[in-house]
A and B are shown apart, each in its own frame.
Chain A
Amino acid sequence: KQEVTQIPAALSVPEGENLVLNCSFTDSAIYNLQWFRQDPGKGLTSLLLIQSSQREQTSGRLNASLDKSSGRSTLYIAASQPGDSATYLCAVREGTAGNKLTFGGGTRVLVKP
């Protein structure tokens, strides 16, 4: 059974610092990995999707890497802003289980002005 872990559970940084969020998964047979952002009382917003054949994806200040063999992904957010404060979730889509997403517990980020 796939298990996804995100450490740390919470992170607080001053504005301008780079953020590094970690995600690990136990079964490397994944179809892709997705990073989401969740604001309080809101649904999930997709940030980046990395296919299993890719090593990284970039969008603006966000960069996500994937090392499938070691079961790890890292989300980098450059020059953090208070508006980046949210919970960040990673999820893996299993290659043989249809469209099922298995989520980590999330990292709650606070960027202090």
Chain B
Amino acid sequence: EAGVVQSPRYKIIEKKQPVAFWCNPISGHNTLYWYRQNLGQGPELLIRYENEEAVDDSQLPKDRFSAERLKGVDSTLKIQPAELGDSAVYLCASSSRTKRSEQFFGPGTRLTVL
């Protein structure tokens, strides 16, 4: 079984530029999560999707961050414009309806904003 796939793995951009991250969850997993992990800290939830619906986006900075999961499978997280403080690892995770308590994480996208 393939795990959670994320791309790109690394991204370096200049501040004020836009950037997008892509996530493909484990097949059949209806719940998808985006986390941000700053250096030396634990991940923090940005947004959670149940199928196509964003059910928890309270921690998403909505002025510059947006996310979508149009068909309830893949998801894209976008930052526009990026700021220096957005440098972090962006992790995607997914879980199934039958085993909601266990989340499987992708390798993450390491973003560096210069």
| Chain A residues within 8 Å of B, Cβ to Cβ | 4, 9, 31-32, 36, 41-46, 49, 89, 91, 93, 98-101, 103-106
Establish whether residues B101 and A49, one from each chain, have CB atoms under 8 Å apart when the complex forms.
Answer: yes
A42 to B48, CA, bound (A): 21
Q: Point out the residue from B9, B40, B91 that lies within 8 Å of A9, measured CB to CB.
A: B40
User: With contacts A43-B105, A43-B108, A100-B45 known, what are 5 further pairs, Cβ within 8 A?
Assistant: A41-B107, A43-B106, A44-B91, A49-B102, A101-B43
Establish whether residues A105 and B42, one from each chain, have CB atoms under 8 Å apart when the complex forms.
Answer: yes
B31 contacts A by Cβ under 8 Å = yes
Establish whether residues A44 and B43, one from each chain, have CB atoms under 8 Å apart when the complex forms.
Answer: yes
Establish whether residues B45 and A106, one from each chain, have CB atoms under 8 Å apart when the complex forms.
Answer: no
Nearest CB in chain A: distance from B45 CB, A: 6
Establish whether residues B91 and A99, one from each chain, have CB atoms under 8 Å apart when the complex forms.
Answer: no
A9 to B39, CA, bound (A): 12
Q: Which residues of A contact B55 (CB under 8 A)?
A: 98
Q: Which residues of B contact A104 (CB under 8 A)?
A: 42
Establish whether residues B101 and A43, one from each chain, have CB atoms under 8 Å apart when the complex forms.
Answer: no
Tally of chain B residues near chain A (CB < 8 A): 25
Establish whether residues B45 and A101, one from each chain, have CB atoms under 8 Å apart when the complex forms.
Answer: yes
A32 to B42, CA, bound (A): 17
Q: Which residues of B contact A41 (CB under 8 A)?
A: 9, 107-108, 110
A31 and B110 contact, Cβ closer than 8 Å, known pairs A9-B40, A100-B45, A105-B42: no
Establish whether residues B42 and A89, one from each chain, have CB atoms under 8 Å apart when the complex forms.
Answer: yes
A98 to B33, CA, bound (A): 12
Q: Which residues of B contact A93 (CB under 8 A)?
A: 101
Establish whether residues A106 and B108, one from each chain, have CB atoms under 8 Å apart when the complex forms.
Answer: no
Establish whether residues B103 and A101, one from each chain, have CB atoms under 8 Å apart when the complex forms.
Answer: yes
Establish whether residues B42 and A31, one from each chain, have CB atoms under 8 Å apart when the complex forms.
Answer: no
Nearest CB in chain B: distance from A105 CB, A: 5
A104 to B56, CA, bound (A): 20
